[in-house]
A and B are shown apart, each in its own frame.
Chain A
Amino acid sequence: MKLSWRRGVGGALTSLTGLAALLIVALLAVIFLDVVRGGIGTVSWRFLTEPPSDGMMGGGIFPALYGTAALTLLMTLAVMPVGVLTAVYLHEYAPPGSLLARAVRVAVVNLAGVPSIVFGLFGVGFFIHFVGGSLDRLLGYQELHWAQPGILWASLTLAVLTLPVVIVSTEEALRAVPLEHRTASLALGATQSQTLMRVVLPGALPGILTGAVLAVSRGAGEVAPILFTGAAYFLPDLPHALNSQFMHLGYHSYVLATQSPDVEATRPLLYATVLVLLALTFALNLVAVLIRARTRRRAAAAH
C-alpha cells in the first residue's frame, strides 16, 4: 500500500472517531441549551418557594424540592455507614484472596446492574409489605401505618440502589491512603481499629465525601424506584413523618411531562422543573469532581 493512501485512511478514521466524540458533546450541549432556554424564564424565587397551584398549571415546586432534599438526606444517612464499612472490610480487613471479599465484589457489581424499576418492586415487596407489614402487626396498628408507601421506605430503597456507588468510591479513597501511614501507626503501637479511626479514615475522608456526593446525585435523580414506594402525584403538605408520602422533583417532571391536561400551558413549568433538577445534579457532580481533583493534587504533592 502507498504511504499517502495509508495516511488518507488514517485521517478518515481519526476524523470519523473524532466526529463520534463531538456528536456526544454536541448532544450534551443540545440537552443543556434546550433545558436552560426553555426553563430559565420561569425559574424565580417564587417558583422555588411556592407549592404548585391551579391543578399544577401554576405555582412553584417547593414541596418537590423539600421532598427531594429530605429523601436524599435519609438515604445518605442509611447508605454511608453500611457502604463505608463494607469498603473498609474489602480493603483493610479482608484476608488476601478471601472468598467473602470476592463474593461481596461480585454482588456489588451485579447490584449496580439491577434495573432501577426492580429496586422499586423490591421496595414494595420487602420494605412496605414485609418490614412495614411486620411492624404494623407488632405494634398493633389496625389501619395501615407502616405498610404503605412513605419517605422512609423510598429512602431505604434508594440506599440499596446507591450502595455500589459508595462502596466503589470509598474503596478507591482507601487505596489512595499510603501504606506507610498505616504501618507507621501500627509500629507506634496503635491497634488496627485505632489506625483505621485516626489515620486511614481521616486520610480517605475527601474520597469518601466524593462518594457521598455521587450517591446523592444518583439517588436524587432516580424516579423509577420511588414510583410506588413513596412519591406522591400532588401533595401540597410537606412530609412530616417517616411514613408520609412526598413530592419529588424527578417524579414531578415526569407527571408534568406526561399527564398534563394542557401541554402548552404546563410547558414553562415543566422546563423550569427539569432545569432545577438538572442544575442540582450538575452542581453535585461538579462538587464531586472538585473534591476529587483537590485530593489528587494533595496526594501528588505528598509523594
Chain B
Amino acid sequence: MQGQGLVGTAAVAPRLSSAARRRQLREKVIAGIITAMAFTGIAALVLILVFVAKEALGLFLDAEARHEASPSKMFLPQVVRAGKPPAFVWQPVSSVPKVSMIPLFIGTLKTTLVSMLVAVPVGVAAALFVAEFASRRLRELLKPTIEMLAGIPSVVLGFVALMVFASFMQDTFGLGSRLNALVAGLGLSLAIVPVIFTVAEDALTAVPRSYREASLALGATPWETAWKVVLPAAAPGILAACVLGFGRAIGETMIVLMASGNAAIVSASLSDSVRTLSATIAAEMGEVVVGSPHYSLLFFIGVELFVFTFLLNMLANTWTRRVLKRLSGAGA
C-alpha cells in the first residue's frame, strides 16, 4: 500500500490487532477532547465580548434608546436647562435622562492618574531594589511579602481607602469632600503596585548577568550598573508593567465604588468626588430595567472597558515578549 520499497515491512505494520486499534482510537478520542477543551479560553474571551456587546446593541437598534442616548448625547455637550450653557451631565435616571459619558471618563482618568503617579515610582523603585540591591535573603523575604498585597481582595482595599485613607486625608488636608479622586486613587494604587512590581521585577531579573559583569568590570559602581545598564535594558518590560497597571486601574471596580464619592462632577480638582466608568456599572446595574436604554448604556460602558483593557493588555504583552526575546537572544 505504502509504496513498493516497503513491501516487506508494510505488510506487517498496518495490520494491528483489534485491541491495538481500539487503543489507538481511544488515544485519538482523548486527544480530541483535550484539544476541544483548549478552545474554552478563546471561547470565553469571544463570548464575553459578544454577549456584553449584544446587550449594548439596543443603544443603536432600539428607537427609544437611539433618541435617548445617541452618540452626540453621550459625547458632546448638551443644553441641560434652557438659558444655561451646554454641559456634560450624567443623570440617566432623571425624568429627562442625561447620558454624557464625559464626566465618567474624567472621573476614571483622575483616579487612574493619581494611582499611576503613586504606584509607578513606588512599584518600579521597589522592583529595582529587590532585583539589584537587596541581598538574596532580603529578596526572598520581600518578594512574597509584596506579592501578598496582590492577594488582598479589592473590597478590603476599598474598605481601607474608605475607613483609613479618607479619614487621614480629611484630618490632614481638610478636603471639601471626604471621598474624592485622591482617596480613590490612593486606594487604587494599593491594587496596582503589586502588578507593576511583579512585572517590572521579572523584566529586571531577565537582564543577563553578563551585562552587569561587563559594566562592573569597566569600573562602574553597582548603582551606575543598575541605573545605566540594567534599567535601560529592561525598559520595555517596565513600560509593559506600567501599561498593565494602567489597565488594571481603569477596570478596578470595588475600590473606586467605595472611596470615590460617586458624584459625576466635571472638574479638574482632585479633591472633588468622582464617578468612574466601572463604578457606574456597579452602582446602577442593580436597579436598572432590563432592556431599557439605561441598561444598554451600562453594557456599552462595559464594552468600552473591555476594549480599553484589551488593547492595553495586547500592548503590554507584546512589549514583555519583545524584551524577553531580545535579552535571551543577546544573553546567550
Contact = CB atoms under 8 A, between A and B. Distances in A.
B38 to A, nearest CB: 4
A224 interface: yes
Interface string A204-232: 00000000000001101111100110000
Q: How large is the interface on A (under 10, 10 to 19, 20 to 34, 35 or more residues)?
A: 35 or more
What band does the interface of chain B fall in when counting residues whose beta carbon is under 8 Å from A? 35 or more
B41 A10 contact: no
Contacts of A163: 40-41, 44
B146 A254 contact: no
Contacts of A221: 152-156
B111 interface: no
Interface stretch (B8-16, B22-30, B75-83, B99-107): B22-30
Contact of A282 (B146, B148, B222, B281): B148
A235 interface: no
A114 B306 CA distance: 6
Contacts of B23: 191
B48 interface: yes
Contacts of B224: 6, 10
B185 interface: no
Given A13-B227, A17-B128, A192-B31, A31 B160 contact: yes
A208 B305 CA distance: 32
B44 A107 contact: yes
B153 A222 contact: yes
A13 B158 contact: no
Contacts of B151: 217-218, 281-282, 285
Nearest to B133: A14
Contact of B162 (A18, A126, A130, A258): A258
Query: Which of the listed residues A114, A222, A274 has the most CB atoms from chain B within 10 Å of its own CB?
Result: A114
A274 B156 contact: yes
Contacts of A6: 221, 223-224
Interface stretch (B88-96, B266-274, B310-318, B323-331): B310-318
B38 A110 contact: no
B254 A10 contact: no
Contacts of B128: 17
Interface stretch (B62-70, B119-127, B169-177, B207-215): B119-127
Given A113-B310, A222-B153, A228 B285 contact: yes
B76 to A, nearest CB: 26
B139 to A, nearest CB: 10
A20 interface: yes
Contacts of A222: 153-154
Contacts of B306: 114-115, 118
Nearest to B128: A17
A217 B148 CA distance: 12
Contacts of B159: 253, 257, 270, 274
A269 interface: no
Given A124-B285, A221-B154, 8 more contacts: A82-B37, A101-B38, A107-B44, A111-B45, A115-B278, A191-B23, A217-B151, A218-B151
Interface of A: 6-7, 9-11, 13-14, 16-21, 23-25, 27-28, 30-31, 34-35, 81-82, 85-86, 88-90, 92-94, 100-101, 103-104, 106-122, 124-126, 129-130, 160, 163-164, 167, 191-193, 217-218, 220-224, 227-228, 250-251, 253-254, 257-258, 270, 274, 277-278, 281-282, 285, 289
Interface of B: 23, 26-27, 30-31, 33-35, 37-42, 44-45, 47-48, 51-52, 54-55, 121-123, 125-126, 128-130, 132-134, 142, 144-146, 148-149, 151-160, 162-164, 190, 193, 197, 221-224, 226-227, 244, 247-248, 250-254, 257-258, 278, 281-282, 285-286, 290, 298-299, 302, 305-306, 309-310, 312-314, 317
Q: Which 7 pairs across A and B sit closest by C-beta, in order of nearness?
A: A115-B251, A221-B153, A10-B223, A20-B125, A17-B129, A89-B38, A85-B37
5 contacts: A16-B125, A21-B146, A31-B152, A86-B40, A120-B281
